[in-house]
Chains A and B, each alone.
Chain A
Amino acid sequence: MRWLLFKDLRILRRSPLLVALLVLYPLVVALLVGVALSSGPSKPKVAFANLVPPDEATISVGGRRLDAATYASELFDAVDAIRVDSRAEAIAKVRSGEALGALVIPPDVIDRLQATLSLAGGEPPTVEVYYSAENPLKRRYVEATIDATLADANKALSNEIFSEAASYLNLIVAGGSLSLPVVGEVDILGLRNARAIVDAAITGLPDDSSARAALEQVSRFAGLAADNLNVSKPILASISTPITVQERSLSGSDTSLDVFGVEVAVVISLMNVALLLAAGMLALEREEHVFGRLVRGLVTRTGLLVEKIALAGSCAWALASVMLAILVAFLDLGWSRTPAWLAALALAAVAFAALGAAIGGVTRDVRAASLLAFMLALPIAALALVPSGAVDGTLYDAIRIVSGAFPFKPSLTALDAGLSGGSLVTPLAHLAALTVAFTALARLALRRFR
């Protein structure tokens, strides 16, 4: 078998374009994924037209004046804003493709906000958002970014309003001084002080005084009102954030999106190399009409299969290991789990190579084998990435069964366990079972040929 292996390596060496593609493809993918993940997502370019006159950009909440520009800065943290002076200019930026979207703050927004806060009624303040419908993905991205940013701005504003309302409640409950325009400083007695005064007055009354019962009623009301208004502050606070989220992962690992991206990139590259090499090199034996000569006693069919799986598995494993090592270095994931992810990649490479051999076993030439390998690889990867809950339950069960019958999903699970510290036993056993099954299928397929 070693002479066949030697021969295959020599043939590969004489196919520089193929080898260059097989080596460079995963390395380039690794570099791209590494750079993309380590540099983080870029901000979308959004045209921003603030049509509010600069001297009218403040709102009054109680006795305080708030600058709307403070809340607009929330927006600039999330997007790359292109400042323009008019609505038409903002729309033109979107149409020309210079900006992915446009946010227009109409001139009346401050007046409307002020009216809403002072309970004067009227239309609520509205900002205008324009998207390009050229690309639904792009539109969704900008829409989500602007929606999230506006939600943050709304929350910041509501926090300010809550803070102001809470100070009024304090004044009503505990008393103090309030500064009012025109009138100036005004002393507020407060409910607690009022109750103390009433209680003192009751103490000075004769027991049979007819006013005692009425004053006791006022004292009780003042106490009750002070207590309940105090309690209303946390209730008011909950309005700005009515629901808080507590996240707990019930299954799978707590892998970050970055690491998951790395895992997918590595497994896709490993799959492509192993499938194409195993399928192509086995099909080559028939394309060159050598298969019949080989199996006429020089090599057994099983030996030939094992040689192709070993060749493709070793090459895919080596390339995927280099690729993952580059990504581990880029993302600073640490090297302590290296033996575990090397083992995961090894089993994954062998399982994909066995699948490739099965593909090579049913095709008669290299082109057909390569085409079939590609046609099979894409849906296998896509199905394995469908998350539960994204589709109907029955359909998901079917997808899960199909994904489980191919090495992509277990390879991803094994690599995730290898990188994140989960248990490798189940995914490696799964991959080993698939290796045996696809080798048996390939062996059956080879029975047809002489």
Chain B
Amino acid sequence: MAAPRTDALPALRVEALSKSYGDRRALQDVSFIAAPGELIAIIGPNGAGKTTLLQILGGALVATSGTVSLDRDDVGWVPQQPAVYSKLSVRENLWLFARLEKVGDVEATVNRMLDQTGLGDRAGDPLGELSGGNRQRVNVAVGLLGDPAVLLLDEPSSSLDPRQRARLWDFIATLAREQGTTVVYSTHNVAEAERYADRLLVLADGELLFTGTPAELERATGEHDATDFEGAFVRFLRSRGH
């Protein structure tokens, strides 16, 4: 995988982001920077604040305090479940959302997305007849229709089998590499985060515990076992009291 352009201006800058629901603090002073083309995985236990962080970045939630450098228009949002119409074909879904996104050349954009997803030969098939992996590809493609600087994905591979997951991540990595799109995604699959992410954000109880590469996380535990990244992650959480 090509390295992100860390020398360029950051695609995303998040500063001291907090979100409270009454007395409960879902996010506490989270800050990080993402470079163009960088793949960032947000990992952490249940209730860590992963989805809350993504929703604030995507404009679906308003932060209690802190700032995000992007406008909503610069962000592509890919929800966990494929948010597409199963009665419409692949092309019709892309066409509809391109219209709603008010993209300049709708037909050209749709054709480009069909090429990128590799679903050109199934453009006329209803979404309901596609495999879970292909539906998720269309779901991601819809998030990319507005040509966003940052693509946010909420557990994009959670409902896919290993082969479909690998194909999806190849697709996402290609997008990031070829278009310079910054990808921020949440996942429960730590191995997937290690394998595909350039950088990890480890959240627990709304607090950002770690930011760095998977190798740096392993080093932070004081042990290095190339075959057990998940074990290293759990030890890291325990060492921080989670």
A interface residues, Cβ below 8 angstroms from B: 3-4, 6-7, 10-11, 14-15, 288-290, 292-294, 296-299, 450
| A11, A14, A298: the one within 8 Å of B100 (CB) | A298
Q: Is the CB of B97 within 8 A of A298?
A: yes
* B206 interface residue (CB < 8 Å to A): no
Beta-carbon nearest neighbor of A12 in chain B: B87
Beta-carbon nearest neighbor of A15 in chain B: B87
Which of B2-10, B11-19, B76-84, B109-117 lies at the binding interface?
Answer: B76-84
Residues of B within 8 A of A294 (CB): 100
Q: Is the CB of A7 within 8 A of B88?
A: yes
* B147 interface residue (CB < 8 Å to A): no
Q: Of residues A3, A4, A6, A7, which shows the largest number of chain B Cβ atoms within 10 Å of its Cβ?
A: A7
Q: Is the CB of B85 within 8 A of A11?
A: yes
Interface residues on B, range: 20 to 34
Enumerate the 10 nearest inter-chain pairs by beta-carbon distance, A residue then B residue, closest first: A289-B81, A298-B100, A293-B83, A289-B83, A3-B99, A290-B83, A11-B87, A14-B87, A297-B72, A7-B96
Q: Is the CB of A10 within 8 A of B77?
A: no
Q: Is the CB of B59 within 8 A of A288?
A: no
Q: Is the CB of A292 within 8 A of B100?
A: no
* B215 interface residue (CB < 8 Å to A): no
Beta-carbon nearest neighbor of A7 in chain B: B96
Given contacts A289-B79, A290-B85, A298-B101, 8 further A-B contacts (CB under 8 A): A3-B99, A3-B100, A11-B85, A15-B87, A290-B83, A293-B77, A293-B79, A296-B59
| B84, B97, B126: the one within 8 Å of A288 (CB) | B84
Q: Is the CB of B85 within 8 A of A7?
A: yes
Distance in Å from the Cβ of A3 to the closest Cβ of chain B? Answer: 4
Say whether, besides A3-B99, A7-B96, A10-B92, A296 and B82 are in contact (CB < 8 Å).
no
Q: Is the CB of A3 within 8 A of B96?
A: yes
* B164 interface residue (CB < 8 Å to A): no
Residues of A within 8 A of B96 (CB): 3, 6-7
Tell me, in angstroms, the Cα distance from A4 to B87 when the chains sit together. Answer: 14
Residues of B within 8 A of A297 (CB): 59, 72-73
Residues of B within 8 A of A6 (CB): 96
Residues of B within 8 A of A4 (CB): 100
Residue-wise interface mask of B (87-108) relative to A, using a CB-CB cutoff of 8 A (1 in contact, 0 not) = 1100010001101110000000
Distance in Å from the Cβ of B68 to the closest Cβ of chain A? Answer: 14
Residues of A within 8 A of B77 (CB): 292-293, 296
Looking at chain A's contact residues, the main secondary structure is helix
Tell me, in angstroms, the Cα distance from A15 to B85 when the chains sit together. Answer: 13
* B209 interface residue (CB < 8 Å to A): no
Q: Is the CB of B83 within 8 A of A292?
A: yes
Beta-carbon nearest neighbor of B99 in chain A: A3
* 23 chain-A/chain-B pairs, Cβ below 8 angstroms: A3-B100, A4-B100, A6-B96, A7-B85, A7-B88, A7-B92, A7-B96, A10-B92, A11-B88, A14-B126, A15-B87, A289-B81, A290-B83, A292-B60, A292-B79, A292-B83, A293-B77, A294-B100, A296-B58, A296-B60, A297-B72, A450-B60, A450-B61
Distance in Å from the Cβ of A1 to the closest Cβ of chain B? Answer: 10
Residues of B within 8 A of A450 (CB): 55, 60-61
B interface residues, Cβ below 8 angstroms from A: 55, 58-61, 72-73, 77, 79, 81-88, 92, 96-97, 99-101, 126, 142
Tell me, in angstroms, the Cα distance from A289 to B83 when the chains sit together. Answer: 5
Tell me, in angstroms, the Cα distance from A293 to B96 when the chains sit together. Answer: 12
Beta-carbon nearest neighbor of B154 in chain A: A292
Q: Of residues A6, A11, A296, which shows the largest number of chain B Cβ atoms within 10 Å of its Cβ?
A: A296
Tell me, in angstroms, the Cα distance from A292 to B83 when the chains sit together. Answer: 8
Beta-carbon nearest neighbor of B71 in chain A: A297
Distance in Å from the Cβ of A364 to the closest Cβ of chain B? Answer: 12
Q: Of residues B83, B96, B101, which shows the largest number of chain A Cβ atoms within 10 Å of its Cβ?
A: B83
Distance in Å from the Cβ of B52 to the closest Cβ of chain A? Answer: 11
Distance in Å from the Cβ of B137 to the closest Cβ of chain A? Answer: 16
Distance in Å from the Cβ of B232 to the closest Cβ of chain A? Answer: 34
Tell me, in angstroms, the Cα distance from A374 to B222 when the chains sit together. Answer: 63
Q: Is the CB of A289 within 8 A of B142?
A: no
Residues of A within 8 A of B142 (CB): 293
Distance in Å from the Cβ of B177 to the closest Cβ of chain A? Answer: 25
Beta-carbon nearest neighbor of B92 in chain A: A10
Distance in Å from the Cβ of A309 to the closest Cβ of chain B? Answer: 19
Tell me, in angstroms, the Cα distance from A188 to B232 when the chains sit together. Answer: 134
Residues of B within 8 A of A7 (CB): 85, 88, 92, 96
Residues of A within 8 A of B87 (CB): 10-11, 14-15
Residues of A within 8 A of B84 (CB): 288, 290
Say whether, besides A11-B88, A289-B82, A296 and B72 are in contact (CB < 8 Å).
yes
Q: Is the CB of A299 within 8 A of B85?
A: no
Residues of A within 8 A of B59 (CB): 296-297
Residues of A within 8 A of B81 (CB): 289
Q: Of residues A4, A10, A290, which shows the largest number of chain B Cβ atoms within 10 Å of its Cβ?
A: A290
Tell me, in angstroms, the Cα distance from A438 to B97 when the chains sit together. Answer: 29
Residues of B within 8 A of A298 (CB): 97, 100-101
